[in-house]
Structure 1
Amino acid sequence: MRLVIATCSVDYAGRLTAHLPLAKRLLVVKGDGSLLVHSDGGSYKPLNWMSPPCTLSIIEPDEDQRAAGVTEVWKVTHTKTADMLIVSIREIELDSTHDLGIDPGLQKDGVEAHLQKLLAEQIHLLGDGHTLVRREYMTAIGPVDILARDASGASVAVELKRRGDIDGVEQLTRYLELMNRDPLLAPVTGVFAAQEIKPQARTLAEDRGIRCLVLDYDAMRGIDDGKARLF
């Protein structure tokens, strides 16, 4: 992983366009080829990024760029879509490379891990006609708990929590933004699934077009609730 703190501007061109004006930012180049642009705020969410497969090339600035103080230009091109992320660098304050080794992956607590396994086995709980694609679908920014397809064949990303709060909705939103850039997956809709979903999280999810699903853990495990029976 390469970490660069630089004064730069960033332009994204492709199916959408975006511009980040000149400022000091953290550039993260990961081993999988992805590039993330961070500011000192916004929690874990990058300001912009390019997900793999992509290639990064460093090119010399042209005369106009040199006159504006640009010392080097990073051009990151997505292999499948030809979308481009252009980073115009004026000054680099830190440039370091680190070998992080093989990551063992996220270890969920027992209940969340079991919920994921059970929902994968009972994928019909998402709705009639849903089918499982895979558990732990890896993206450039982390694994989506479950990737499924609905009855029409459209992609569905599922984020699972024991207790669903706003942070979980933000996490799923980040996955959806990234996955919808992939033409092989898009359009991707989201399902926020939990044993309990806080009202604020439900409001935020529904405002963003994310469906909420409350899971009955005991019922999914096949545990008979004697209190609910008359006899």
Structure 2
Amino acid sequence: MSLDIKNATDIKKTKGTYLIYGPPGMGKTTTLKFLPGKTLVLDVDRTTKVLKGEKNIDILKIDNINTWEDWQNKILELYENYKGKYDNICVDNVSELERCILSDLGSKGKNKGVPSQGDYQYMQFRMVNSLRYMKNLGSNIIWTAWESTDLYTTSEGQQYNRSYPQINQKIMNNVLGLCDVVAKLVVNSEGKRGFIMSATNSVYAKNQIDDRKGCLQEELFLDEAKRVSSQSDK
């Protein structure tokens, strides 16, 4: 058996995987308007009405009651029959998706609707495996999430108020590690929306696509030509 070894210079441009997060109502779904090309939005939390009139955006509603089976079927359908048919595929949003899956599993259990420990493990594996499947669809993948905060203490005893995506703690590092960009949506004192794309002690963020540490809301999803131009202007 021969190994398929390639030099790094042979790496071609690939699609990106993004996770954007912020409090409810901040403008995460609205950000999807700025995606270049044809976009499919998997609507979990029913906030896609803000996308009304966008001709390049298709919407597929996820059953938020019988979510466990419906989510699996739709992800498999995308994987089998929709590879490369959309420039962008978005899940809006994964925080609600987790809760819907757990609620569905709990309703089918024997604990009066409360999810069991096993249900949490089922959800965790499904979420991570779903992202792996979606990364093979030949599209940019965008997941939106709500924001969580906590008081984080370093090994030196320093404390920070920390912001990060609202994703189950057991899989958060796994999910965020599979993303090229994790960006926190913020609004400045002048009411202008933008994204933090570089990590600090207080904010979980990263950018493995280019060198930007932040950007305006409408500039997050730059195509390759605009990204090169943006970097050359600095």
| Range into which the TM-score falls when normalised by the shorter chain | under 0.3
Bigger relative CO (Cα 8 Å, ≥ 6 apart): 2
TM-score, normalised by the number of residues in structure 1: 0.25
- Could you say which structure has the larger radius of gyration? 1
Give the strand-richer structure, 1 or 2. Answer: 1
Give the helix-richer structure, 1 or 2. Answer: 2
